[in-house]
Amino acid sequence: MRINVVYNNQIAGWTDVLEVLKKSLDKKLVDFKVFDIDNLENYGEFTFVIGGDGTLLKAARFYSASEVPVLGINLGRLGFLSQANVSEIDNVVDKVLKKEFSIEERLMLKSESSLALNDFVIKGCNTYRTSKFYLEINDKFVCDYIADGLIISTPTGSTAYGLSAGGPVLYPTLDALVIVPICPHTLNARPLVVPSSESITVKTSDKLLSVAVDGSETKECVKQISIKISEQKAKLAFLKDDSFYSVLRNKLHWGVSPELN
Active site residues: 53
Whole-number Cα distances in Å, 191 to 54, 140, 183, 211, 220: 24, 18, 11, 19, 24
Q: Give 158's DSSP letter.
A: G
The amino acid present at 222, given as its one-letter code, is: V
Strand locations in the chain, DSSP E? 2-7, 31-36, 46-51, 70-74, 102-110, 115-116, 119-124, 131-137, 140-147, 149-153, 176-182, 192-195, 200-203, 209-213, 220-222, 224-238
Q: How far is CA 62 from the centre of its chain?
A: 12
Q: Which helix (H) or strand (E) holds 21?
A: helix 14-27
Residue 206, judged by CB atoms within 10 A of its CB (0-12, 13-18, 19+), counts as exposed
How many C-beta atoms surround the C-beta of residue 102 within 10 A? 12
The amino acid present at 165, given as its one-letter code, is: A
